[in-house]
Amino acid sequence: MPRSRDWPIAIRTLDLAETIQPITGVEGYSRVRVFVTDGPELVGSMDIWHAGASQVSAARLLDTVVEHFGYSLFKRDLARQLGPQTARAAARLGLPEQVSVSIVVPTCDRPDDLRRCLASLLTQASRRRIEIVVVDNRPGNSQTSHIAAEFPGVVLVDEPRPGLSYARNAGIARATGDIIIATDDDVTVPGDWLETLIAPFARPEVMAVTGHVLPLELETESQCRFEAYGGLGKGYSPFEADGEWFASRLAAVPTWTLGATANAAFRATIFTDPAIGLLEESLGAGMPTGCSEDTYLFYKILKSGHTIVYEPSAYVWHRHRRLMDSLRHQIYAYSKGHVAYHLLTLFRDGDRRALIRCGYSLPKTYVKRIWHRLRGWSDYPISLILLEVRGNLAGPWALWQSYRRVQSLGRSAPIAVVSATAPGRWTPEGSSDDGARAEPPVRQPIDSGVSRAS
């Protein structure tokens, strides 16, 4: 956990498939956080304290890698040699190139971030058809159209109703891909990100895949505190959840541990499924609730009996907020949205497990964290913990405010499938009835009276 003297933290990467070189240019940093990969796979991270030295030697890097990952690397290499091909590796070979992808990027007047994001998306090593849809959530008052024009082929959609869920839904409605990827404008991606993220869709039961979210920089107290808070990533171990996992949970289903729409892919058909549909527009950034539109979408996918895969090697780099005022606003919003999400599962889905989370698990967690801080086992500020509690208490009112706002602005219309049973349509199993590769169905939004110009 960072303390006042612990930042800035330098960010570096180390690929074990290449010759280990010293890390240089780190004077002035308290430590170096090294994200370790082994070719395409993300292994983990390690912090190296270097007392302000200008470099970390190759020998020390090697020793630290062995200390942190030696056993797990040995075990994995042995499994590769002695065991059958892993499901993860097999999946990467099994998704047909004919499967098309749409990447939806909402933005709200952040031209520099958007430019960096689009430039990285265009570096993807893939032979499939990739469509990039930028949704301007502040049309007419931003530089978004000029930035999008710098990248030929980018589709621009205007969504004047404020709110991240409105923007994502507008992009989803316009997208034509078999798979729809959600990301943010403050994200950049490595060249193999897309293929790694969508690989699990080779399995027909998989309806969503999420990936890791790593910090692009840890230069300020705010950015370091956000990582201590939990960041956006969900760890370095792949896992999956399905309908059985959903039903087996005695307390609230922890969908917030499954990833985030800063880095998530979905089979396009879920958005035309009446049991799932679009993102809930009373949740998310830009609404009083502040967040949790993605966790509620994960909830509906699992409730419908489908599978969600978390693949950490499909990682992106996220630029955290640099100012403490922005961080406090973000944490307060997250805390409101978390309770609002549980109330929605209670009242809309009749899931009483939400009561256990709100009435028992959350208070217990806060008491434990405050106790750890008082004992010196943590340095996460009590002021931020109390801010989270305030946000939780504001959650019910925030949900009511958001509900009324959506009533005023109107919900996005469901997406209609015009030719869902057309002959030759691509299916998750990989081929059509006659053995020929199929085209995806044509999807279009039902007219909602909202202008969406591209």
Q: pLDDT tens-digit profile of 293-344?
A: 999 999 999 999 999 999 999 999 999 999 999 999 999 999 999 999 999 9
Q: What are phi and psi of 215, to 5 degrees?
A: -75, 130
d(CA 152, CA 251): 48
* 344-354 mean pLDDT: 96
Run of H or E residues at 451: none
Q: What are phi and psi of 189, to 5 degrees?
A: -130, 150
Structure tokens belonging to residue 112:
């520099």
Q: How far is CA 271 from the centre of its chain?
A: 18
Q: Which range has the worst mean pLDDT, 251-255, 374-378, 406-410?
A: 374-378
First CA to last CA distance, the chain? 45
Contact 293, 261 (CB under 8 A): yes
On the question of pLDDT at 442 being above 70, the answer is: no
d(CA 78, CA 334): 42
Rounded to 10 deg, the angle between the 293-303 and 164-174 helix axes is 50
* 29-55 mean pLDDT: 91
Please give the pLDDT value at position 72.
82
User: Of 140, 134, 73, 80, which Cα lies nearest the Cα of 106?
Assistant: 134
Instruction: Count CB-CB contacts under 10 A for residue 127.
Output: 7
- SS3 call for 12: strand
Phi-psi region of 320 (alpha: psi -120 to 50; beta: other; left: phi over 0): beta
Place 87 in a pLDDT band, splitting at 50, 70 and 90: low
CATH class held by domain 93-327+411-445: alpha beta
Q: What does DSSP assign to residue 218? A: B
Environment class of 77 (CB within 10 Å of its CB; exposed 0-12, middle 13-18, buried 19+)? exposed
Per residue, the 3-state secondary structure of 228-291, as one string, reads HHCCCCCCCCCEEECHHHHHHCCCCCCHHHCCCCCEEEEEHHHHHCCCCCCCCCCCCCCCCCCC
- SS3 call for 176: coil
Q: What is the mean pLDDT of the chain?
A: 88
On the question of pLDDT at 16 being above 80, the answer is: yes
d(CA 16, CA 275): 44
Run of H or E residues at 374: helix 362-374
Give percent above pLDDT 90 in the chain: 76
Q: What are phi and psi of 116, to 5 degrees?
A: -65, -40
pTM over 0.85: yes
DSSP strand pairing (239-241 vs 307-318): antiparallel
Q: pLDDT tens-digit profile of 160-180?
A: 999 999 999 999 999 999 999
Contact 183, 110 (CB under 8 A): no
On the question of pLDDT at 423 being above 80, the answer is: no
Q: Where are the domains of the chain?
A: 9-83, 93-327+411-445
